[in-house]
Structure 1
């Protein structure tokens, strides 16, 4: 019951070539080709929908199986490198009157980063002034205050 239709590439940042079975169907291989001009180091996985996949005795499971996370970096060697950013909140469960520190961590030194670059449309709160941490300008912080109601 296993074939290419069972493979979920929605978080793969790439495509798979044709599947080839070996070891009497125990091992399946395919060539993975990453998508061009992508730099993703955290979310890449290949999943298999196990519904309908059974061993020779008829045993199966409905649970999906997922690969470990892997890195895709297909940006041109001499091309433009763009910084990536990670946004974290010290506290993610806030009540009225509380605040938390928001950290913006960039993969490289950035210039021109300001509060106008931050979209708070779905944030349900406001962000205080940005402050660069250290002199390398890779990490910035601000205080987030949730809307009272």
Structure 2
């Protein structure tokens, strides 16, 4: 029986091929473009492995802080008391949630020193770096367990 590779496995295969081809290319520009393409594919691979809900807890925490600051009658989840879920934009993506947080701080709705704001923003930044470039994480933020992805075949010890 033939199995169907996952999207992450396909991305890994293309990245490995680009690493091999880019390393043998005599032209510096081709080598550079291959390295950039590999980095992008590795980010996509990490995003596929962790899933789309990876940033949800941070996004929800930031949105709840904004709603709580704007509506003091909000409950702990940030929903105004008696409000429907539609009144809270829980469908905002990560970028939109961060834009809303920036606007709330800029407009004076959310104080920069609001309890829970810095930890929520820091957690969001750590989760983003886990996908974008885990090498940029502080040692204390790096996972102590096995990495999310195995090392590519080109980086594995024989």
Relative to the length of structure 1, the TM-score reads 0.23
Relative to the length of structure 2, the TM-score reads 0.22
Q: Which has the higher helix share?
A: 2
